[in-house]
Structures are given as structure tokens and as C-alpha cells.
Structure 1
Amino acid sequence: MNQFQSTLSEDLSVTPFTPAEIDALRRDTPGCSHVVHLNYAGAGLMPTPVIQALHDHLDVEARIGGYEAAALREREVRSFYTQAARLLNTKPGNIAFTSSATDSYSRALSSIPFRRDDVILTTQDDFVSNQIQFLSCRKRFGVQVVHVENAPEGGVSLEDLDVKLRVLRPRLLAITHVPTNAGLVQPVYAIGKIAAQYPETYYLLDACQSAGQMKLDVHRLHCDFLSVTTRKFLRGPRGTGFLYISDKALHAGLEPLFLDMRGATWKEKNLYVPQPDATRFEDWEFAYALVLGSSRAIEYCLAIGEDRIERRVKMLANDLRQGLQSLPGVWVLDHGPDVCGLVTFTVTGGEPVSLVQQLRNQHINIVPSYRDFAVLDFDEKGVSWALRASPHYLTTEHELHLFLSCFEKLIQ
């Protein structure tokens, strides 16, 4: 337990962040002294307990060896599964550690027993890597990739989703909770209720951009798989992620296409037996320092309180959108009944690489997105690029004002 966590207000689920808490969070984050970081949707600034966990384990590995260090820290390593399970309201045996959200996602996708003409039902706004993997499955297995229509107000049409699930009976429903290219939040709890009526369809939910930004409950989401990274809003180290696998999927015998000696036991010459729990989706080789850092990052998030985090992130993002909309030539691209901490915008006559670099020269971090990141979404919006700014709960109003002031000067 770090100093900040031990001094938080008693009822974290309802109290707002006080100035003293924001100051404590920022003192606990070395990066805040160097940059205005508006790229938490890319990679978050790690807090001191996460950094220390990485350093401590690498020091142990250096002193006694990698295998021996892992054995020494076995209890702490197991704690990762406990923390991840708490984050998603599930059991440790339903959690597999991976190297990223995409790694999690591809392991889940590879476990689906596709046959020719099976349907993958997805959205117009699913993450680019997921869309590429669907097309790869179409090329390799002969499956069909079908997209749910969007509602007029933005986001998936629940009516069209229900119709397509009923008529097409897809093998897989694949939804990205928060697309990387926009601030849209898909109505995943409503989607989950609909999906639960079609148990023959497996449901894969990409929570890459939502974990650490908003609360996730896999029982209410009714998903069979949920993929997460820890480097973004959870503020963990890069090269880390995890996958939730439901009891339904485990009991059905789903397993990734490629297992190794951790995921299965070689029993006879022509026989292997997969592990009974989510371990079957893991590899034997782990970066144990990253596992321990991820555990601390999740613990840190839970101690602060996800409801509080979501409220503050939405407040900051809404303030940022309003500030950008007031600038001449700036077009905010986010739309939908629910939007979050990813703020996307474009500038008439602007050049994304130059704008990002000029801001970086002033120690302000944002990132560009391009059409090939989100072909369907960008074509519908009629843009070829966008900039993305993503604040988090420890971002200050002063930092937003500083960014807006600098950006306004750049586009004049």
C-alpha cells in the first residue's frame, strides 16, 4: 500500500477528488514533472508503486537469476490474478496474463471453431487490428464478416444488432467498447443483455480503452471473452495485458490455436490435455517484472475507485471538447449518446505530424490517427486524419488550458 492510497477519503465511490488528492496523485507520478501528458489512451504515466515493482523485481533477477526470482515472488505473482479478477468481478481462474490487449484478443479469436460461411458480427467502429484479423479469418476460413448498422445518434444500433443476431446466428459477436479513433462508448451492457439471448454465439469484447477509465463487470456484460491492456488508463507498464475467459467458454473446451507447455500437458505421443482454467490461454515464458507491475497498477486503480475516475475523466474530456470547439478551424469528431476520455479532432488546413511535433517540443503529448486506423469511421466522417488528446483523473484544468492556448497559437 503506497502513501497516497493510505490517505484517500473513506468513501471513495462517492466523494469527488479534492485538490489535495490531485496533488498527491501527481507527486506519486514522476512524469507529471516533465510533460503535460494527454495520451493516456496510448500509454499512461506510471505511478511510483508500479515503477518500483518493476525495478525491485529486475534487481532480484539480476542478483539471483530469472527462474529463481520468479519462484521467490510466486505469491506476489499470484496476486496479479486476484487483482485482475477484482477489477472485472470474476474469479482468478478466469484470467490469463498476456503481452497486450491485441495478444489477448487474437488468442480468444483463435479459439473460436470457425467453419466456412460462419458469420463474424461486428461494428463499424471496431479497432483496426480486430478488423484486420476478421478479414484474415475470412481469407483463411471462408467466414463472412458482417457489420451492424450504426444508430443515427452514433454507436451501434441495438435494433439492428438484435435482428442480425436472430437472423444470421453468428458464430462470433465482436464489439469494441471504446474505439481507439474516437470518444464513442458503445452501450455494452445493453449489448450484453441482447447477446445473452443467443447462447450459441460467442461474444468477444475489446476493453482495451475502457479498462481503468470506467468500471467493468463481466457478469453484467455477459461476454465470453474480454481483452485488456494495462498500459493505458490502468497506468501499468507496456508489454502487458490480460484476457478474461468465461466458464461457458472454458467448459466448452475452447482453447487458443497455439498452446505451449503452460497451457497444456503432453500426456502421450498423440495426446495433450489443456489446462482446466484460463491458464490454457497463457504462455510459459513471462516477463515477471511486468506481471508484478501490472498487479500494482490494478491495485492502484481499485484503491482510487473506478466510479470516481470515470466521472472526473468525463468532466475533463467534456471541458476539452468545449475548448476545442471554440477554436477556429477545429472540428471535434466525437459523437454518440455516451462519450469518454478520448477526444478526437481535426483542423482545417492542418498537418498532423507537424502539429504533434510542435506540441511535443513544448512538452505536451497528443497523438495522430489516420484513415487506415479506422477506414469505416473516417470515411463516414469525411476525414483522412485526426488528433487525439486523452486526459486522465490526475490531469489538471491548468494543463488543459495550457494545451488549448498552445494549440490555438499553432493553428493561427
Structure 2
Amino acid sequence: MVLYGLGTTIGAGIYALVGELAGIAGYFSPISFLIASLMAALTAMSFAELSGRFPLAAGAALYVREGFSSQRLSTITGLLVILAGLVSAAALINGFVGYLHQFVDIDRLQAILLITLILGGIAAWGISTSVTLAALITIIEIGGLLLIIGVSFSGTTIGADNLSTTLIPSVDITHWKSIFAGALLAFYAFIGFEDMVDVAEEVKNVKRNLPLAILLTLGITTILYMLIMITAVLAVPPEQLASTEAPLAFLYQHFTGNDATLISIIGLLAIINGALIQMIMASRVMYGLGSRGQLPAVLSFVHPDTQTPLIATFVATITVLILALIGHLTILAEITSLIMLSIFSMINLALLRIKKRSPSTGGSINFPRWIPLSGFIVSLSFLVLTLVNVTFF
């Protein structure tokens, strides 16, 4: 289950966003990642408890319905989940184009059109990755990250004596503006752990194993991301990282002198797999809401041969195509983060209400009330502060 969680979280975001984050937060990018991980950790604990309380494959919409006893809020949550998936897929497709340019010189618009339609076709045909293949892809992705950490660490140009002054910011407000701006972008790389609850009904001893898997997933992800970002900015000036479309491939080639084909292939695999998963997820949520009358019933149409929701998949594909064509990787990733912060705010508040009504979890993991309260405050604060374009200072 942890491998599945790592597969939904690790890979796409980190392979695509290292350069963008370095351009925003510079040498303080690891601090941005640390803040983002703390933001995600609070909500991950809420998801962990909720997955034990309600071990059903309905995810965020179910938790909101249980917390607020409101079908309308449940529908809104479902729509936000759909939107987050579509925007995330568009962001990943933009990241994919960057790595694709390592192999072929193709126009950006043509590449986006081609890959989006291919992914839409795959989703429509119902081709899904087996658990074994998904685990293999995850292992390959992690192996690629460890390889990058190794070659970057060997090329570190800053001595140990200067690490603290280089990586730890002063109280200068300018530094912290960039750090928190970077944290919002870095938060995107942690999105994915919440998808683990959608397979709750397929997990053995779900009340124990699923919450534990969620927490382990986030912990391992944080360690890998921090190591990647620390070694990257210490090995190469952040402005140089920000100038490349495929930063991890650049790091590998820069320090080994070898062709970056291997890393580029791993990056392509990670990114495109993430985009496909998001498109399939969004179309299935559309189908679910349509079949329950919360969205137009036409979205629940299932083709008799492919057994896939074709109309919902078509809508998802066209929406992703439009978003990918008009959006930029950074903007799309930040929009995804904002949507997820909205969802996470509702999830934490829902758990607070549930815990007030039913303090006992029936034997599953039970966190103190300050966990969802803190998660709600942090998620909502970052959401509001970003929307009104102010800082903490």
C-alpha cells in the first residue's frame, strides 16, 4: 500500500517543478519544501483518521457529507476534486513537454495536443496499469531520484561550513516572501496521498494499514524531496536550474557528462503516468456524481464495449487540453494547490465536527483535536493569504 501511495505522490511534481521552485525561492527552496510538507502532514493525519473511521472508496466527498450532513457541500467537494485533477493533468502535460524536448524538437502546442489526445484515448479505452506494473514504475521513479541525489551530492560546491548561511534564511521579509511563494508551489508536489483513500475497500485490515500507509508515504516523500532540493541548489546555482526545462535531467548530465536519456525517460514516465491517473480519476468522479444525480446524467453514460464513461472522459480530455494550451506549468500547479487547500480546509473542518459528535474511532487511529484544527487553520490561512496576495509579515 505504501508503494501505491508513493506512486500517486512521488514523481510527477518533483520531476517537473525543481527548476520552477529554484527560480522562486533560490537557495531557500528546501525551506519551502519543508513548510509545504508540514502543511500536508496535518491534513494527511486527518485523512488517516477519516480513512479508519470510514473505510469506503468515496474519499473527500464522503468525509464532507459525513461531517456536514450536506449533500450540496459533498457535491461541491466532488467538483473541486474534479477540477483539481484536470488542472493538475494540464500542469503535468506542460512538464512532460519540457522533458520531451530532450528527445525531439517539437512545437509546444503540437506536443500538448498530441499527448492530451493520446491520454484521452487511453482513458476512454479503459487501459489501466496493474498493481505490479504501478509498483515497478514507482520503484523506477524513486531510483531515478536517488541517482540524481547521488550525482548532485558529489558535485556540491558549497562547503559544510557555509551550509547554514546558504540554506537558512535571515529575517529579511524579501526572503520569506519568496519562501512562502515557493511553499505554495512545492505543496503541489505532495498532492497525491489523498488519493489513497479511494482504494480503501481493497485494503486488508484497512483501519490499521491505510492510516499507517498514508503517514509513511508522506514521511518518505518528504525525505526524498528535501534531499533532492538540498543537493540540487548546493550543486548548481538556482538561476541555472530555473533556466532548464528538464532540471533533473540537466543535473545528471551536468555532473556525469553522460547523456541524460535515462533520466529523461524516467521523468517522462513519471509525469505522463501522473497525468493519466488524474484524467482517469476526474472522469470517474464525474461519472459518479452523474450517476447520483449531482451532475448531468449524460456524464454517467458507460460504453457497453469499453465499460468506460466515454462522455465524462471526453469532457475531461477537452478540458485538460484547453487548460494545458492556455496555462503555464507554474500557474497551473499553483491553481491546483489552491483548489487542494480548499478541499483540505473542508476535510479538516469535517473531521473536527465528526470528532465532536463521535470521539471514539472504533479502534482505528485517533489524533487529538488540535491536529484537524491546526490543519484547517493552516490550509485556510495559506489559501486566503495567497488569494489576497499578502504575506505573513
TM-score (norm 1): 0.24
Structure with more relative contact order (C-alpha pairs < 8 Å, separation 6 or more): 2
When you count strand as a share of all residues, which structure comes out higher?
1
When you count helix as a share of all residues, which structure comes out higher?
2
Q: Which has the larger radius of gyration?
A: 1
